[in-house]
A and B are shown apart, each in its own frame.
Chain A
Amino acid sequence: MTEILKLETKYFGEIECEAKDAICFPAGLFGFEEEHDFLLMPFDGSGGSMLCLQSMTTPALAFVVLDPFSFLPDYAPVLEEAELRQFGVKDAGELGFYVMCALKNPVSESTVNLKCPLVIHPETRQARQVIMGRYEMRHPLAEFGRGEEDASC
Chain B
Amino acid sequence: MLILQRKPGESLVIGENISISVVSIEGGRVRLAISAPQEISILRSELLDATAANRDSAVEEAAPAELLGLLGALPSDKNKQKGEEKP
A→B interface (CB under 8 Å): 11, 29-32, 43, 45-47, 49-50, 52, 61-64, 66, 69-71, 73, 100-108, 110, 113, 115-116, 129, 131, 137-138, 141-142, 144-145, 148-150
Contact = CB atoms under 8 A, between A and B. Distances in A.
A127 to B, nearest CB: 14
B73 interface: yes
A110 B70 contact: yes
A29 B65 CA distance: 24
Given A30-B51, A47-B78, A61-B58, A52 B71 contact: no
Interface string B11-22: 000000000000
A71 B71 contact: yes
Nearest to A60: B58
Contacts of B61: 103-105
Interface stretch (B2-10, B32-40, B42-50): B42-50
By size class, the interface of chain B is 20 to 34
A105 B63 CA distance: 9
Given A43-B65, A71-B77, A101-B67, 16 more contacts: A49-B71, A63-B57, A71-B71, A71-B74, A73-B77, A101-B57, A102-B56, A102-B57, A103-B60, A105-B62, A106-B62, A107-B67, A129-B54, A145-B74, A148-B75, A150-B73
Contact of B70 (A11, A100, A108, A113): A108
A83 to B, nearest CB: 15
B67 A110 contact: yes
Nearest to B52: A31
B86 interface: no
B1 interface: no
16 contacts: A11-B64, A32-B58, A49-B78, A70-B78, A71-B71, A73-B77, A100-B57, A101-B67, A102-B57, A102-B60, A105-B61, A105-B62, A107-B62, A107-B66, A145-B70, A145-B73
Contacts of B77: 69-71, 73
Contacts of A47: 78
A137 to B, nearest CB: 5
A142 B73 CA distance: 9
